[in-house]
Amino acid sequence: MKKLIDVVAGVAVACIVASTPAAAHHSFPATYLVDASVKIEGTVLQFLFRNPHSFVHLQAPDKNGVMQHWAVEWGGGGALGAQGVGKDSLKPGDKVIIHGSPGRNPLDHRVLMKSIERPKDGWKWAGTFG
């Protein structure tokens, strides 16, 4: 009987550990300069609200004023949903201001989201994820 209880307890612990989400599945510092900041102002092309990470694609000028396609990495849909962000929070054509950490390769035009604002109606998000 004790052996059966030990086996059941072991299986229960294994199930609990396996179902606990990992704190991080990759290192943001490997892709982004997390101690640096960049501000981009542009027009939303696409908002991908999904897991494990959402993305905002926008058209905005680079530091030389040349228009670029930017990929801004954001939190997963579940985490953002808990913070009031939904799949319809951003639409193509929205003008936004984004602050974030620039990608390590400037030619990639990638940013890790720290905050976003849509000036036309005052909608804002600044939070944490990951």
The residues facing 71 across adjacent strands are 57, 110
The pLDDT tens digits for 10-40 are: 444 444 434 334 444 557 888 899 999 999 9
With cut-offs at 50, 70 and 90, classify the pLDDT of residue 9: very low
Domains of the chain are 24-126 (2.40.50.140)
Question: 14 or 83, which is more confident?
Answer: 83
pLDDT for the residue 28: 84
- Contacts of 12 by beta carbon, 8 Å cutoff, 6+ apart: none
